[in-house]
């Protein structure tokens, strides 16, 4: 350690404690690395990931038996918490009868009807298996409907794993006029030519859309970016919608995270906006894999054209499988019957952010938490954040990682991806514990000289 590097006794102690109590996780990592390329990264500053054995409500337990308050919540999936009883019963009911047939089952229609009732833009519904499938099918339908090829995507987005989502807007050379940058190798240059990079929360985006009107099939945006949750976004969403309507471009909300999370009707209900199309997943699958495309009748008709005409191909062996349909129907039915969960999650999310931010302000720490209801993000910087172009992930990166490890050692599991969620199962006492753990973790980071 050179003389300019601060000693980190509290971090070293937390790391040693975690390694000591997660020996099975350490052994599992070695066994996996010999055979699996799974994309898993070590949690925080640990030399190995944490492997989860079970979950109940707001908590999970690792394979070593350690319990944590969970803020990953299935990466936003588990709005009702882990092993919600109604969902569990639905999965058991179907599994007792056989869980996959390939052809249709009676489980699909009940969920489709509930989704159509809940989602403002849902004249028609199409099921698929994942969020990535949903966004790729939606883009395909928009191209078929408009006869145009390009897709507009904003910086800070996440719309899935297919090639058209592997080109991200970058502020170089200009924040007002971003260009596309690969976030993966293996993406053909031809894909770049089909993406129109757009600056988030920047009126220049409207000019770019108009300039590309003859080529743009669709503009897609999240009502709330889970990488940067901002609640004062309604005016910008409406402006993007208006310019798309003006230019005859399909306007799509990607509600993979916000759907059934920030409101029963998702971002569409929350912000009072009805897009041409929307994609959903996560929460409406009750914890099982699902993707949903919802939209206007005329656009959705591209998936089922008149006989003799070629339509937009979709398909998948597990599409609309009975387990996902039954679990989703149970989850959505519970949400419909218990609208109070949304006020609860919003209140607890706001209380968590206030407790965190008040502590940082009182102690002059360059850290703050942003949230929209039950979605939150922690920024290790003092400067304000409007879009991903403003996020500094470098200057205090060591402090951020140390904070996450301390929180883990104190019993709150937060992921390295800095996208966090609470659920309807996170009660006031749980939130109090989280506030206390976060404050103690920040104090330890400062005591080690990292903050």
Contact criterion met (CB below 8 Å) for 71 and 415: yes
Q: Which CATH number is 85-337 given?
A: 3.40.640.10
Taking only the tens of pLDDT, the chain with its 451 residues reads 444 668 899 999 999 999 999 999 999 988 888 888 765 555 567 888 899 999 999 999 999 999 999 999 999 999 999 999 999 999 999 999 988 888 888 999 999 999 999 999 999 999 999 999 999 999 999 999 999 999 999 999 999 999 999 899 999 889 999 999 999 999 999 999 999 999 999 999 999 999 999 999 999 999 999 999 999 999 999 999 999 999 999 999 999 999 999 999 999 999 999 999 999 999 999 999 999 999 999 999 999 877 778 889 898 899 999 999 999 999 999 999 999 999 999 999 999 999 999 999 999 999 999 999 999 999 999 999 999 999 999 999 999 999 999 999 999 999 877 899 999 999 999 999 999 999 999 999 999 999 9
Matching fold, domains 9-82+340-447 and 85-337: no
Which pTM value belongs to this model?
0.94
| Cβ(261)–Cβ(223) below 8 Å | no
What is the helix (H) or strand (E) element at residue 413, kind and residue range?
strand 412-413
Domain residue limits, the chain: 9-82+340-447, 85-337
The DSSP code for 285 is: G
Output the pLDDT for position 36: 84
What are the start-end ranges of the H helices in 174-265? 189-192, 204-211, 234-247
Name which of 376, 356, 379 is nearest 421 in CA terms. Answer: 376
Helix or strand or coil: residue 113? Answer: helix
Say what the pLDDT of residue 240 is.
98
Fold exhibited by the domain 9-82+340-447: 3.90.1150
Distances (CA, A) of 451 to 382, 401, 445: 12, 11, 6
| Predicted local confidence at residue 102, as pLDDT | 86
């Amino acid at each position: 350690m050179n003389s300019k590097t601060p000693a980190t006794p509290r971090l070293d102690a937390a790391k040693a404690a975690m390694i000591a109590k997660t020996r099975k996780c350490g052994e599992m990592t070695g066994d996996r690395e010999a055979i699996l390329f799974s994309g898993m990264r070590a949690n925080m500053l640990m030399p190995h990931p944490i492997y989860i054995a079970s979950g109940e409500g707001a908590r999970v337990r690792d394979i070593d038996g350690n319990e944590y308050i969970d803020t990953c919540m299935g990466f936003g999936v588990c709005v009702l918490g882990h092993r919600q009883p109604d969902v569990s019963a639905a999965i058991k009911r179907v599994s007792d009868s056989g869980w996959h047939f390939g052809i249709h089952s009676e489980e699909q229609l009940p969920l489709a009807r509930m989704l159509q009732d809940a989602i403002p833009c849902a004249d028609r519904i199409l099921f698929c298996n994942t969020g990535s499938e949903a966004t790729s099918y939606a883009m395909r339908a928009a191209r078929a409907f408009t006869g145009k090829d390009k897709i507009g995507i904003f910086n800070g987005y996440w719309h899935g794993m297919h090639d058209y989502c592997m080109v991200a807007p970058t502020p170089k050379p200009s924040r007002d006029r971003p260009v596309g940058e690969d976030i993966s190798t293996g993406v053909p240059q031809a894909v770049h030519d089909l993406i129109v990079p757009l600056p988030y929360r920047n009126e220049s985006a409207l000019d770019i859309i108009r300039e590309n009107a003859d080529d743009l099939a669709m503009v897609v945006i999240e009502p709330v970016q889970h990488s940067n949750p901002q609640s004062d976004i309604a005016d910008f969403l409406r402006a993007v919608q208006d310019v798309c309507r003006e230019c005859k471009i399909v306007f799509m909300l990607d509600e993979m995270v916000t759907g059934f999370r920030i409101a029963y009707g998702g971002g569409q209900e929350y912000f009072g906006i009805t897009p041409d199309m929307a994609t959903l997943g996560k929460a409406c699958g009750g914890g099982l894999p699902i993707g949903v495309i919802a939209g206007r009748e005329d656009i959705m008709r591209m998936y089922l054209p008149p006989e003799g005409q070629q339509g937009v191909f979709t398909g998948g062996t597990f599409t609309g499988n009975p387990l996902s349909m039954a679990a989703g129907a149970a989850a959505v039915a519970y949400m419909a019957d218990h609208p109070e969960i949304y006020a609860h999650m919003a209140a607890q999310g706001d209380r968590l952010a206030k407790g965190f931010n008040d502590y940082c302000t009182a102690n002059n720490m360059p850290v703050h938490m942003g949230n929209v209801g039950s979605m939150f993000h922690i920024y290790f910087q003092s400067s304000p954040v409007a879009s991903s172009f403003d996020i500094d992930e470098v200057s205090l990166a060591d402090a951020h990682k140390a904070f996450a490890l301390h929180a883990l050692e104190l019993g709150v599991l937060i992921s390295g991806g800095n996208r966090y969620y609470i659920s309807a199962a996170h009660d006031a006492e749980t939130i109090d514990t989280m506030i206390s753990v976060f404050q103690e973790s920040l104090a330890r980071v400062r005591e080690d000289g990292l903050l």
